[in-house]
Structures are given as C-alpha cells and as structure tokens.
C-alpha cells in the first residue's frame, strides 16, 4: 500500500476524533540571547505584557490567554518567514502606521529586518525579524 496522506485540503478538515484530547493551545516558545534586551523589544515595540519566570525565561502575552515563552541561551536558529507569530490590526492604515513607528527604531532595538508592507497571502502586512531571529507579522485582519 502506498504511503498516501489524506488528499483533503486543509480547509476541509477531518471528521475523525483526534488521538489526543487537548483543551486549547496555551503557548509557543522563542529563543533569545539576552533576556533584558529581548524584553525591552517585546514591551516597548510590540506592547506585550512580560513576566520573568526564571533567570533565563519569561512569558509574554497580548490581549489573550495564549502566551509565548522566551528562553535565553537556546542557541537555536530561526524558522524563517513561515514560522512566525501574527499581530492583527483592523485596517491597512494601521499596518502602515505600525510600519512607520517600527522602521525608525530598528537599530535602537537591534531589529534585524523590517519588511515593507505588501499584500500577501490574502492580507496586507509586514514582518519584523527581532534581535533573536524570530519573525513577527503585523497584519490587517
């Protein structure tokens, strides 16, 4: 028998009961080099609430119960553009306004890259690559 994976598209979903009985997605994790500098970026640029949970980790969130854990000294590499976290805004004008605020502080916050806003994958957005090679998308949704 061929090793054929379901030919359903992602939008079709499945009627099968999942193997695990999970309640909700609680968090994601990013790696960082310097917890203090990383926290400054998350609080001052992205407006996230940050709580240090140990000498080498902190938890962040923004207007939700889903959190992101940042762990210092992981030494990993970035997953790139398609491995990112998204922050929604209501309009294209808000995307542009966010870009105009972030672009001038790129050096101050050691931001490695700020892409120009464009229409892509059905929405208007831009990306920020932070000092730890994590990708963040600001998008109209």
Residues 6+ apart with CB under 8 A from 87: 46, 62, 136, 137, 138, 139
| Segment among 1-5, 54-58, 100-104, 128-132 with least mean pLDDT | 1-5
The pLDDT of residue 38 = 94
Structure-token match 């970035």, residue found: 78
DSSP string, 15-67: -SPPSS------EEEEEES-HHHHHHHHHHTT--EEEEEETTEEEEESSSS-E
CA–CA distance, 85 with 19 (Å, rounded to integer)? 26
| Segment among 8-12, 91-95, 103-107, 129-133 with least mean pLDDT | 8-12
pTM exceeding the 0.75 threshold for the entire prediction = no
Task: Say what percent of the chain tops pLDDT 70.
Answer: 81
The pLDDT of residue 71 = 86
Per-residue confidence band for 77, with pLDDT thresholds at 50, 70 and 90: low
The pLDDT of residue 47 = 96
CA–CA distance, 38 with 70 (Å, rounded to integer)? 8
The pLDDT of residue 22 = 64
Q: Over the stretch 31-73, which tens digit does the pLDDT of each residue have?
A: 898 999 999 999 999 999 999 988 888 999 999 888 998 888 7
Q: Take residue 98 and report the two structure tokens written for it.
A: 């966010």
CA–CA distance, 32 with 75 (Å, rounded to integer)? 8
The pLDDT of residue 123 = 87
């Amino acid at each position: 028998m061929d090793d054929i994976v379901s030919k359903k598209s992602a939008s079709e979903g499945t009627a099968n009961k999942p193997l695990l009985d999970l309640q909700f997605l609680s968090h994601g994790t990013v790696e960082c080099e310097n917890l203090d500098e990383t926290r400054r970026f998350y609080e001052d640029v992205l407006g996230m609430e940050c709580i240090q949970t140990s000498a080498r980790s902190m938890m962040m969130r923004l207007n939700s119960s889903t959190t992101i854990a940042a762990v210092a000294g992981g030494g990993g590499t970035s997953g790139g553009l398609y491995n990112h976290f998204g922050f929604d805004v209501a309009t294209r004008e808000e995307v542009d306004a966010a870009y105009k605020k972030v672009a001038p502080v790129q050096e101050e916050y050691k931001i490695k890259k700020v892409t120009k806003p464009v229409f892509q994958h059905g929405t208007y957005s831009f990306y920020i690559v932070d000092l730890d090679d994590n990708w963040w998308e600001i998008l109209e949704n």
